[in-house]
Amino acid sequence: MAVNLSKNGPALTAAYKEVVDEKSDTNWALFTYEGNSNDIRLVEKGDGGLEELVEELNSGKVMYAFCRVQDPNSGLPKYVLINWTGEGVKDARKGICANHVSSVANFLKGAHVTINARADEDVEPEAIMQKVAKASGANYSFHKEASNRFQDSGPQGPVGSVYQKTNAMSEIRKTNKDNFWAQAEKEEEKRRQEDRRKAEEERQKLERERKDRETKEAVQRDKRDKERSSQIDQQKKYQQQLEAESKEQEKQRWEEEQQQQNDAAQRKAVRRGDSVEKANEAASLISQRAVNPREMFKQRERGMTPSDSDAPSAAPDSPQPEEAPAANTYVEETPYEEPAQVDESNSYEMTVEETSDKGICARALYDYQAADDTEISFDPDEIITGIEMIDEGWWRGYGPDGHFGMFPANYVELM
């Protein structure tokens, strides 16, 4: 690709003019590429001559230096162009930049000596000045010339004139060149202003996009926060609802259990009241009998029949069940009535269903403790099996422990 000298043209031209202007203190300018592009830019300029210029050369870059020196022979200004290719430059880059040497030389024209340098020894000031002296074409001393200046050498020839004929085309080209560079400077300034304007517009556009993006992100973030808060509130409400329903269910269960317990207690109290009333009636009937059922049972076991003469004059009462404590339980006492005469042969008849294995069964209403080995003991709700109804007030059967004996009939109820 060709080298680009127009991008930074005004700066390059200004530095070049300062070097070629003998009235200017600037006597050297250094140029290089912008990055890896082919655009030439100004690196530095100074008034310290070759010594100062050499110090600015970089071994990792391709650079071009234009310097004004004084011819050691004639004392006239001479111009040196240095094409510097550092040792650290890649070979591919060297090949590309080698094609730019002629273009740079045409731009920095007027050089008396051109040096292609790769190392520091190629740009030593003494070596460069020797090349300048050789390139001047003259080797004489001002001291020798001064010693012969005032000697009479005879008649002198005609005095020469310094007048030069004006070349219209040359002047036009020079004027056009100056106008071209002025126009180039204006266009470059205009281009820089346009670049600054575009950069400012791009910056403002990016700033607006950034603000819009931040606004959208803030709105989305607020929306997510609100949705999260709403979900948390709904979860809390649902949890509270579940807890309230659980408490309500527990309360209903507790109330049902309490109601069941109260109903059971009332039924038990009613059963106990009924049982106590029946037990009192049975005890009242048994107390009127003249024959002791226990003695009769014992005699029957021995194979004897009791007679009126052997019967004792007064039979012991059937044991009364202990009344269970119940709230507001009241047994009304009835006046004594003469019990009706009951036939001994048909004194007690009752139809019950007998099972094939256990016979007649009854459930204990109260607890009873045996008085001797002929009786059995049991607790409430226990089952007595194989019952024989030997008497109206006393039966016998198998207790819960398997013992066979008598027990009061009013302490149980048939199943």
Backbone φ and ψ of 228, nearest 5°: -65, -40
Strand partners, 414: 362
Q: 263: which 2 tokens?
A: 């109903």
Count CA within 13 A, CB hemisphere, residue 223: 6
Model confidence at 338: pLDDT above 70: no
CA 151 to CA 368: how far, in whole Å?
178
Q: Count other Cβ atoms within 10 Å, centred on residue 406.
A: 22
Angle at 75 between CA 72 and CA 79, to 5 degrees: 80
User: pLDDT digits over 203-246, tens only?
Assistant: 999 999 999 999 999 999 999 999 999 999 999 999 999 999 99
User: pLDDT digits over 281-329, tens only?
Assistant: 656 655 655 555 556 556 656 664 444 434 333 334 445 554 444 333 3
Q: Count other Cβ atoms within 10 Å, centred on residue 323.
A: 15
375 vs 293 pLDDT, higher one: 375
Angle at 327 between CA 323 and CA 328, to 5 degrees: 95
60-69, 335-344, 378-387: least confident range: 335-344
User: pLDDT digits over 153-200, tens only?
Assistant: 555 555 555 555 556 666 666 677 678 788 888 888 999 999 999 999
Amino acid, single-letter form, for residue 97: C
23 vs 355 pLDDT, higher one: 23
